[in-house]
Amino acid sequence: MTDVLVVGSGGREHALGWKIAQSKKVGKVFYAPGNGGTSNNISIPADDIENLAKFASEKNCLAVVGPEVPLSIGIVDEFTKKGLRIFGPTKKALQLESSKVWAKNFMKRNKILTAQFEIFDDAKKAKEYAKSVNFPLVVKADGLAAGKGVIVCSDSNEAASAIDKMLVEKSFGTAGSKIILEERINGIEASYIALADGAVAIPMATSQDHKRIYDNDKGPNTGGMGAYSPTPVIGDSMAEQIQKNVIDKTVQSMKNEGIPFKGFLYAGIMLKDNKPYVLEFNARMGDPECQPIMMRMESDLYDYIIASMEGTLSKMPPISWKKQSAVCVVLASKGYPDSYPKNEEILGLDTQDKDTFVFHAGTIRNNYKVLTSGGRVLGVTALGDTLQSAISNAYSRVEKISWPAKYYRKDIGKKGLMS
C-alpha cells in the first residue's frame, strides 16, 4: 500500500484525493494544505517545495500535484532530484501553460491549429499593429495570471488600454512583460483533457466549463463556475480529431523537442467550422472539470498515475467511464472573482444524497463548524442517467446548503442540453 500526498487546496485536489483514496493500492491520502472538506491535512503551503519534500520523504509518499504554481516553480524537478516519487510535468514541460508565448510558438512550429497571433514587448508597436487588424482582438499576458491575463477588445481604444495595462502599467508584473495579440475565434468552447506519459497520451472524459461569473456566459472570467461531463459539443469524431491533431501531436512534438510531457494535458478548445482551435494549454487537471470527471471515472486513477510516471500508458486499457452524466455546480461567495466576505458559517453540509458529492474548495474547519475562506467555496457534484437529471440532482443538493454570501450560476449544464 502506498500513501499519497495531494498538493493543493482546491476542489480539484479534493476530487483527485477522493478518487485516489478509492484505490485498494492506496493507504492514507494526505493533503497539503487541503481544505475544510479534506482530512489528514498537513499545514504546508502548496509552493513550499522544501517542506513538502521533507514530508513526502519522511512518510514515503507518492506526491500528486493539482495546481500550476508548484509545477511552474519546479516541484517535479526538485522531488525527482531527491529521489522522491511525484506525478506531473517538469518545469520545462510546464512552459506549455506558464508561457503563452512559448506555447503559441510551439503550436506554430508544430502546425497545431490555433488563432493567428503576433508577439510584442513594445507598447507602441503593439498599438500600431492593433490599428491594422480586424476586431474583436484578444490581448493576452504571456505568463500565469490566474485566468485574468486575457482581455477581449472590441475596438482599438480598448486594445490600447489593455496593451498599456500589461506593458506600461505592469498590472500583471513580469507575467505581462510580453504580450500576445490574437484574433478572436467565435465558436463553442470545451475542455479536452488527456493523460500523457512522455510518449503517448490517453483521453480522459470530455467536459465543458462555465468560465464567466453570471448566467448565459455574462460578466468577467473566473476560474470556472461549473462543469459537466461528457459534453455533446465534442462528439466521437471531433474527439478523435482533437486526440490526433492536438494531443498526440503535442505529446510527440514535446518528445521530439527533448521535453517529454508527463501528467494531465488540458487543451482549451474553441470549435469553429467543425475545427478545433487551441486557445490555451494547461499542464494539469481543470478545476472544476476534474470534479465531474472523477465522479464518472470507473478505472483506478492510481494505476493510471503510475503508468504516466513509468511511461507505460500504451500498455493500459482505455479508461472506463460511467455512462451517466455528471454535473458540478460551483458555489462561490458573492463578489468573487473580486473581493468577497470570508469566515461565514456554511450550513447544510451534513445531509447526504445518493450519487452526489460536495467537494470543498475555499473552506476551513473551525471546531465543528465549516467556514468560507475563498472565492470558490464548494463544488456540488451529482451523477444522473441523463444530463438533465444530473443537473436536477446537483441543484436540489445546492438548495440545501446555505451561508449569507452564497452565489452560484443557475444554468450549469444548459449549454449541453441545447447542442
Binding site for ligand GLY (CB under 6 A): 209, 223-224, 282, 286-287, 289
Query: Which residue's CB is nearer to ligand AMP, number 286 or number 413?
Result: 286
CA 40 vs CA 17, 27, 57, 131: distances in Å:
11, 12, 17, 55
Cis? peptide before 220, omega within 30° of 0: no
Residue 289 touches which of ligand AMP, ligand GLY, none (CB < 5 to 8 A by kind)? ligand GLY
Cell triple for 106: 510551439
Shortest CB 152 distance to ligand AMP, Å: 6
> For ligand AMP, which residue of 77, 280, 344, 355 counts as binding (CB under 6 A)?
280
Asked if 381 and 357 touch (Cβ cutoff 8 Å), the reply is yes
**Contacting residues for 288 by C-beta, under 8 A, at least 6 apart:** 11, 12, 209, 223, 224, 225, 226, 227, 328, 330, 376, 379
88: left (phi over 0), alpha (psi -120 to 50) or beta: left
289 belongs to the binding site for ligand AMP (CB under 6 A): no
Nearer to ligand GLY, 208 or 325 (CB): 208
Q: With CB under 6 A, what is the number of residues at the site for ligand AMP?
A: 14
| Min CB(372)–ligand GLY separation in Å | 20
Instruction: Identify the DSSP state of 41.
Output: B
- Strand pairing of 275-282 and 262-272? antiparallel
The one segment of 29-37, 166-174, 184-192, 291-299 that binds ligand AMP by CB under 6 A = 184-192
Could you give the string, one character per residue 141-180, with x where binding to ligand AMP holds by CB under 6 A and - elsewhere?
---------x------------------------------
Shortest Å distance, C-beta 280 to ligand GLY:
8
Q: How far is the CB of 15 from ligand GLY (least distance, A)?
A: 12
Q: What do you get for the CA distance between the two ends of the chain, in Å?
A: 44
Minimum CB distance to ligand AMP, residue 149 (Å): 7
Residue 280 binds which of ligand AMP, ligand GLY, none (CB < 5-8 A, kind-dependent): ligand AMP
Up-side HSE of residue 235: CA atoms within 13 Å toward CB?
4
Return the residues of window 104-143 that contact ligand AMP according to CB under 6 A: 115, 138, 140
Q: Which three cell numbers stand for residue 310?
A: 513509468
> CA–CA separation, 232 vs 211, rounded Å?
18
- CA torsion, points 327, 332, 334, 336, in degrees to nearest 10? -110
Distance CA(213)–CA(219), nearest Å, equals: 6
**By C-beta, is 35 or 222 nearer to ligand AMP?**
222
Q: How far is the CB of 280 from ligand AMP (least distance, A)?
A: 3
287 contributes a contact to ligand AMP by CB under 6 A: no
Chain residues binding ligand AMP by CB under 6 A are 115, 138, 140, 150, 182, 184-185, 189, 211, 221, 268, 270, 279-280
